[in-house]
Amino acid sequence: MTSSVPLPGQHRPAQQGGGADGAPDPDAIRAQVGELLTEADRASQIPSGEGTADVHGLVALTRRAQILGRAHDVLVDALSSVDKS
């Protein structure tokens, strides 16, 4: 995971795409996560199995895991930037 998790009461500054009040823009977050999920779906189409370089499907699985990890980071960053007070 590339992002750090803030401690309670120590909220991160708003990331790009934040609204006027510093809160994340839900539509921008949805769009970014949607793009990542589409990319993960494309990665699942990487040929694997007998007769390919990826006999066990580990290349596609690893790629999907990386993409889903990025989507998770986007969501964690959005949640941690919301003021909890």
Angstrom distance (rounded) from CA 83 to CA 12? 9
- Residue 58, phi then psi, degrees to nearest 5: -75, -30
Percentage of the chain beyond pLDDT 70 is 71
Q: At 50, list the tokens.
A: 């007998």
How confident is the model at residue 23, as a pLDDT? Answer: 74
Angstrom distance (rounded) from CA 78 to CA 55? 37
Please check whether residue 44 is in contact with residue 60, taking contact to mean a CB–CB distance below 8 angstroms: yes
What residues does each domain of the chain span?
26-80
**31-40 confidence digits (pLDDT tens):** 999 999 999 9
pTM assigned to the model: 0.68
Angstrom distance (rounded) from CA 70 to CA 42? 15
